[in-house]
Structure 1
Amino acid sequence: MSGNSFFDESQEQSQVKAAIVAKYFWAWAKVIIPSQKRRGNKIAYIDLFAGPGRYKDGTRSTPLLILERAIRDSDMQQMLVTIFNDKDSNNTQTLSQTIDSIPDITLLKYKPKVYNEEVGEEIVKMFEQMRLVPTLFFVDPWGYKGLSLRLINSVLKNWGCDCIIFFNYNRINMGLHNAAVEEHMNALFGKERGDKLRQQLEPLRPFERELTIIEALVEAIKEMGGQYVLPFCFKNAGGNRTSHHLIFASKDVKGYEIMKEIMAKESSTTEQGVPSFEYNPATRNQSLLFELSRPLDDLEGMLLDCFAGKEIPMSEIYNQHHVGTRYIKSNYKSVLSKLEAIGIIVAQPTADMRRKRNGGPTFGDSVVVTFPQRGKNNGN
């Protein structure tokens, strides 16, 4: 699929993708801005594969959502630097015109910059040599050309910089065994990991291939220092195949927590309140199928094993356990409330005390939990 044809329609998946990026930009900026006011008074949003700004049906894509949100905020008006790029000159011309037509665009202190360059070695070198202000970096190439570990690392290396990557699983899955694009695959995974990955994939079934490929990319990003990596899967219209993933990468657990909550709300299904971190158009009317899985039951066992014999606040339970899982904070509170109600754990303040204080037995972050020793729960 060409970059232009991607913008021919505003598919539901594209709207969800744009919503995730725009919502994270807002939340990220609100965390960064207070510190940056004391440091240098600038933040940035960079999109190297920006497209024309609108889909053919007129729906706004990510660049317009970002700019319109910034115009409505007095701090962002004075602080936000935006850089948009696309190798297609038709896209950049249309994007420039569309940006200029945004109401009150002149309220932004820094005029949005639109460039017409192919993403490659020169752009990577430029970012590697720069010390960036806090930047949200969106890489949405639709294919794989221009997407590399060096490009991701060139931005993540700086304080306050996070990256969201559009990972076209279908094309990369095919490309891994295509000698003609081996250079691009090695740029994305690293040569050693890429060679190992090709061997691993040979005997695997499709579902196993997908997990293995995503895990390899996550490991590669973590090795560069992007300690907190979170994938979100998009299925095709039939719901039977993966089309792509959004991959979030950050050096800061706070960004990971924020993005996790955003992706959780954009998930098309939940299982016992646990989000799927997947957008699947075909599952809207299949909730019964997903309720057959009971992940909160699994979380109960995990917590009882992991924290056996410990006395620990709810906030620390969450912080120590949730990274790398699908569980969000509300899932932990639900499980702990249930374990308290059936007498397996002890909580201070107790549910009765919390009910008197708060009007309900809310399991707040400061509630201290005492877990039984291994083998002591459930009367065993």
Structure 2
Amino acid sequence: MSNSSFFDKSKEQSLVKAEIVAKYFWAWAKVVTPHAKTRGHNIAYIDLFSGPGRYQDGSKSTPLLILERAIADPDMREMLMTIFNDRDSNNTQSLQQAISSLANIESLRHQPRVLNEEVGEKFVRMFEQFRLVPTLFFIDPWGYKGLSIRLIGSLIRNWGCDCIFFFNYNRINMSLGNKVVEEHMNALFGKERADVLRKKLNPMPSYERELTVLEAISEALKEIGGKYVLPFCFKNDEATRTSHHLIFVSKNVLGYSIMKEIMAKESTTSDQGVPSFDYNPATIYQPLLFELSRPLDELENMLLDEFAGKTLAMKDVYNQHHVGKRYISKNYKDVLLKLEQQGKIIADPPTPPRKKNTFGDKVKVTFPPK
């Protein structure tokens, strides 16, 4: 199925998706560039389903946003290698023209490469064989053809390699019970997990189906080394159901923390300052996602319980607790400030001399014993 119609206009959700990827690319590059420099390595951005570069209304899609940020940075001008691939030759021609028209594109030491290939087994074998420089991968297929758990595993296996991919929940949900595309579903989830899903999903209501499918892909990603998984949900135009998710996967907790802050700012709603990431309420039947749905009121009790009798810095409280939960750093600071004001914890330094209504990363927190 062609994805050309997808680029007929720049829907708001498409712009949000592009911004999330571009913002993470910038933050990721700032982290990996110094390490790559000391080793004499380059860094890379690879987009396997790149599209034409611009929507019909002229808005820039992800490839152009990435290149513009690279052109503006002296280190990235020298070190960034980019590869953009699309199986539709009309898209690759359009993208090449859009890239060539970018101001100062010639300043990039490594000029962008535009490929016209089908993503499949050939790509998987290639990435499995090579040791990659730090690379951010973006996989944005129109449906799911070419997207497999083995492909993602091959992309994130080396240091500094993270992946963001488009998970078309609506189409995948419909396809799990379709014999015609059984092979694609097996490649995406793994055959054993896909078979279990097919049996479980049939009697489920729609909201539980979505959570179960997301839980399954999260489990599959963790099995291939993607220790840190963070999905961001997009609803359809009527906001009546989920259309797709943008899923981030990494082996590094720092990348996870950075992406969480980026996705939090793009969330349309929040509860007590806790970003929604546009998730539906999860249940205890999906344990990897359940923690992502708990409100801020419960964070106080969780911290008092889990850190009882311990003394550690605010930053360490955050680092040890936030993975798999939708709380961001600000939520922890707000809760710890409230607990201090209630006399339930001891902060060092206290207020004063600490500035009123602040709780810095290095402030020591002593939790009472149980």
TM range (shorter): over 0.9
State the SS of the aligned residue for 1:260. helix
Structure 1 runs (4+) greater than 4 angstroms displaced: none
* Cα offset, 1:302, TM superposition: 1.1
State the SS of the aligned residue for 2:352. helix
* Cα offset, 1:278, TM superposition: 2.1
State the SS of the aligned residue for 1:352. coil
State the SS of the aligned residue for 1:351. coil
* Cα offset, 1:294, TM superposition: 8.5
Aligned twin of 2:288:
none
Task: Write the distance in 1 (CA, Å) between the matches of 2:272 and 2:2.
Answer: 39
TM norm structure 2: 0.95
Larger CA deviation: 2-11 vs 76-85: 2-11
Task: Write the distance in 2 (CA, Å) between the matches of 1:144 and 1:337.
Answer: 45
Matched to 1:368, the amino acid is: K
Contact 1:352-1:361 within 8 A present in 2 as well:
no
Aligned twin of 2:317:
317
State the SS of the aligned residue for 1:166. strand
Contact 1:13-1:279 within 8 A present in 2 as well:
no
* Cα offset, 1:373, TM superposition: 2.4
State the SS of the aligned residue for 2:354. helix
Task: Write the distance in 2 (CA, Å) between the matches of 1:36 and 1:217.
Answer: 31
Task: Write the distance in 1 (CA, Å) between the matches of 2:40 and 2:172.
Answer: 39
Task: Write the distance in 2 (CA, Å) between the matches of 1:352 and 1:296.
Answer: 26
Aligned twin of 1:70:
70
C-alpha offsets along residues 3-40 of structure 1, whole Å, 9 cap, x if unaligned?
11111110000000000000000000000000101113
Aligned twin of 2:108:
108
Aligned twin of 1:370:
366
* Cα offset, 1:233, TM superposition: 0.3
Task: Write the distance in 2 (CA, Å) between the matches of 1:192 and 1:171.
Answer: 20
C-alpha offsets along residues 66-121 of structure 1, whole Å, 9 cap, x if unaligned?
00110011100000000000000000011011111111100000110001111011
Larger CA deviation: 110-119 vs 196-205: 196-205
Task: Write the distance in 2 (CA, Å) between the matches of 1:243 and 1:260.
Answer: 21
Aligned counterparts, 1:129-140, within 5 A: 129-140=129-140
Aligned twin of 1:257:
257
Alpha carbon RMSD of aligned pairs, Å?
Answer: 1.4
Task: Write the distance in 2 (CA, Å) between the matches of 1:235 and 1:309.
Answer: 43
Task: Write the distance in 1 (CA, Å) between the matches of 2:61 and 2:279.
Answer: 18
Aligned twin of 2:199:
199
* Cα offset, 1:296, TM superposition: 1.6
Q: State the identity %.
A: 69
Contact 1:267-1:279 within 8 A present in 2 as well:
no
Aligned twin of 1:247:
247
C-alpha offsets along residues 297-356 of structure 1, whole Å, 9 cap, x if unaligned?
11111111111222221111101110000100000000000011011111111121212x
Aligned twin of 1:289:
none
Matched to 1:315, the amino acid is: K
Task: Write the distance in 1 (CA, Å) between the matches of 2:46 and 2:193.
Answer: 28
* Cα offset, 1:361, TM superposition: 4.0
Contact 1:137-1:162 within 8 A present in 2 as well:
yes
Aligned twin of 1:334:
334
* Cα offset, 1:253, TM superposition: 0.4
Task: Write the distance in 1 (CA, Å) between the matches of 2:71 and 2:311.
Answer: 47
Contact 1:312-1:368 within 8 A present in 2 as well:
yes
Aligned twin of 1:285:
none
Contact 1:235-1:279 within 8 A present in 2 as well:
no
Task: Write the distance in 1 (CA, Å) between the matches of 2:106 and 2:7.
Answer: 27
Report how many aligned residue pairs link the two structures: 358
TM norm structure 1: 0.92
Aligned counterparts, 1:174-323, within 5 A: 174-278=174-278, 295-323=295-323
Aligned twin of 1:284:
none
Contact 1:50-1:140 within 8 A present in 2 as well:
yes
Matched to 1:25, the amino acid is: F
Contact 1:272-1:294 within 8 A present in 2 as well:
no
Task: Write the distance in 1 (CA, Å) between the matches of 2:312 and 2:129.
Answer: 44
Contact 1:139-1:166 within 8 A present in 2 as well:
yes
Matched to 2:365, the amino acid is: V
Matched to 1:151, the amino acid is: L
* Cα offset, 1:153, TM superposition: 0.9
Matched to 1:298, the amino acid is: E
